[in-house]
Structure 1
Amino acid sequence: MAPEVLFINHVGVVGGAEESLLVLLGALDPARYRARLAAPSGELAVRAAALEVPCWPLPPGRLRRGSPVQRVRSLAWLGTVA
């Protein structure tokens, strides 16, 4: 079975970095890698879904604020929904 690869993005809008991420998601061979995305709701999640990449909603700003310890806690929270 192909390993799952989780991509995490802190915004749901699509800018240059997100365009590159979408190109990467579309180019991954699903027989080798099962791409997953965690991002706030928005255009990024919609376009990832169009590529048949499952997306878990991430509350906006959850990974942008706080200390590194708080960011790790946010990632632990993500593990409860993924």
Structure 2
Amino acid sequence: MFRDRAGRLQDGYSRQCPSCEVVLFFAEDSQHPFIKRAMRDARKMRKALREEEAARIAAPQPQAGSSRRFAGRTRAAQRSD
């Protein structure tokens, strides 16, 4: 077993095993249980990543005036007066 990114592991993807150098082909209709599991897990991971990205985009962005760096500059400017 080896790890690969879920984004790469899609139907038609192939990868050479780092230990035995056999080329593995990943297909949605594969009958091999390990390949089926890898494809299912990659699909779930891609879905979770898409949902996380959508939630991050939909979440309101913090106001520029409330950032720590901006607030720090404001306090520094007030001290020098």
* TM-score range normalised by the length of the shorter chain: under 0.3
Bigger proportion of residues as helix: 2
Q: TM-score, normalised by structure 1?
A: 0.27
Bigger proportion of residues as strand: 1
Structure of higher CA gyration radius: 2
Larger RCO, structures 1/2 (Cα 8 Å, 6+ apart)? 1
Q: TM-score, normalised by structure 2?
A: 0.28
